[in-house]
Structure 1
Amino acid sequence: MGSSNSSLQHIPNAQELIQDTGFSAAHIQRLYERFELLDRDQMGRLSVTYLSDLRVPDFEAIPELAMNPIGDRIIAAFFSPGKDTVDFPSFVRVLAHFQPTDSNRTRDSSGQEPYNSPNRKLRFAFQLYDQDGDGKISRAELLQVLQEMLGMPDTDELLQSVAERAIQEADLDQDDAISFEEFKKCLEKVDIDQKMRIGFLS
């Protein structure tokens, strides 16, 4: 345990990240190493303890994201509105959505649900669709995601039919859009842990 803690001393906010995300000290260390590898600007570091932020091109260099049809949306999820860089704590907190749910952890250090709770995972997935951040998935937003995933033009009749049917089935309040609660209801039988997995520690 002592050696684990000493290896984390050079990592910013390590203990807080362990508490907030449920990652072990070994996972935080491994993620830090991955972050350093992704950081293509690290040549300009001021000292061995300085780690610069990641930018969009750093993420675009990851082959799995480059090949993913919605890779640009996943990359965008790492960035806060108006920011063009990601620091290490933010990087870890986003990745925490992809680790298995721990039913023994009900709150993080700020009193919020853990990042890997089913509700927070669903909220993260919902935001990949809700690009304008209005709290609803519109027909146009759904159509755009389907078009990106399937590589079909958004004018394709089949694609439009799929989007229309999805809206009709999910839109319980008949406002022609899908709210987070409606999205959650549609996915209540889906194993969110199985669907939201990523091999970021291997």
Structure 2
Amino acid sequence: MGARPSIPDSINIDEIINNTGLSRKQISALWTRFYELDCGDRGETKGCKGYLDETDFGRVPKFDENPIAPRLIKVIFDDFGSDKKLTFPQFVTFMSTFSQCERGGHEHHHRLHHHHAKRRSSIQTLTTNNTPQMGSSTGTDVENVKYSADDTPKTRKIKFMFRMYDIDRDGRLSKEDIQETLKMMVGKISDEEASIIAEKVLGEFTNEQQNSTVSRETFEETLKTLDFMDKMGLKLLK
């Protein structure tokens, strides 16, 4: 077996630790994965570009089998990358969304403890098996779903999910957003079927109010009753 590739001196590991809360061991493991994915046009030479592009993500085993892979890639590069590229610090920031640790090296003593009974609902159609192996507030709807260094791990995961399903990226989930997501996930589904399911899912968040849209805050409050944290965690980062 070959030696594990070393992180270049040009990468500030201490800054990454401070920004993500991950350990040096976790960051080292992520560098190995990043290096293996960073290939040339033919997918042969490893660690050749210094960044990942969309093609590189297509090399993740079984990733292309996920029906929402194209949407997932778009959100990753839109939210964490720049110019359709993902540098190593950006890659780690994205991956840290699925960690169980606090971010920024700070201890958060305001962890949320909810003892709601676990329940299965149509919401879980949109919250499970589709992630890789992420009070009142001010600002616009779009601003309220931007990531913050003060976000708890659960909040970051919820924001990532929200942005996955917010197709038009207006900061609110509409029936049309949910319909488009269902079509990506299910494939062969009629507009009528998608509409019925979308209305049911939306009703879980809005108490069946007609033509309602869902804010990030409402989305988060509803998901607090669901056991989804382990489904959005990576063993590598635990």
TM-score interval w.r.t. the shorter chain?
0.7 to 0.9
Say if 2:21 is the partner of 1:22.
yes
Amino acid corresponding to residue 106 of structure 1 in structure 2? H
Tell me, in whole angstroms, the C-alpha distance in 1 between the residues paired with 2:194 and 2:227. 25
Amino acid corresponding to residue 90 of structure 1 in structure 2? Q
The equivalent residue for 1:165 is 200
Tell me, in whole angstroms, the C-alpha distance in 2 between the residues paired with 1:50 and 1:69. 29
The equivalent residue for 2:99 is 99
Number of positions where the alignment pairs a residue of Structure 1 with one of Structure 2: 186
Do the aligned partners of residues 151 and 129 (structure 1) sit closer, same or farther apart at CA in structure 2, a change above 3 Å counting?
A: same
Q: Of the candidates 149, 155, 158, which is equivalent to residue 112 of structure 1?
A: 149
The equivalent residue for 1:54 is 52
The equivalent residue for 1:84 is 84
User: Is the CA contact (8 Å cut-off) linking 1:137 and 1:179 kept in structure 2?
Assistant: yes
Amino acid corresponding to residue 18 of structure 2 in structure 1? Q
1:138-171, CA deviations, whole angstroms, 9 ceiling, x for partnerless residues?
A: 211101111222223342x333211011112312
Tell me, in whole angstroms, the C-alpha distance in 2 between the residues paired with 1:10 and 1:193. 34
Do the aligned partners of residues 8 and 54 (structure 1) sit closer, same or farther apart at CA in structure 2, a change above 3 Å counting?
A: closer
Deviation at 1:70?
A: 1.2
SS of the aligned residue for 1:27 comes to helix
The equivalent residue for 1:126 is 162
SS of the aligned residue for 2:62 comes to helix
User: Is the CA contact (8 Å cut-off) linking 1:127 and 1:133 kept in structure 2?
Assistant: yes
Unaligned runs of 5+ in 2: 1-5, 110-147
Identity across aligned pairs (percent)? 29
Do the aligned partners of residues 153 and 59 (structure 1) sit closer, same or farther apart at CA in structure 2, a change above 3 Å counting?
A: same
SS of the aligned residue for 1:99 comes to coil
Deviation at 1:87?
A: 0.7
More displaced stretch, 168-177 vs 63-72: 168-177
Amino acid corresponding to residue 88 of structure 2 in structure 1? F
Do the aligned partners of residues 21 and 185 (structure 1) sit closer, same or farther apart at CA in structure 2, a change above 3 Å counting?
A: same
Amino acid corresponding to residue 200 of structure 2 in structure 1? R
What is the aligned-residue RMSD (CA, Å)? 3.0
The equivalent residue for 2:219 is 183
More displaced stretch, 142-151 vs 27-36: 142-151
User: Is the CA contact (8 Å cut-off) linking 1:101 and 1:118 kept in structure 2?
Assistant: no
More displaced stretch, 67-76 vs 96-105: 96-105
Deviation at 1:30?
A: 1.2
Q: Of the candidates 111, 136, 141, which is equivalent to residue 177 of structure 2?
A: 141
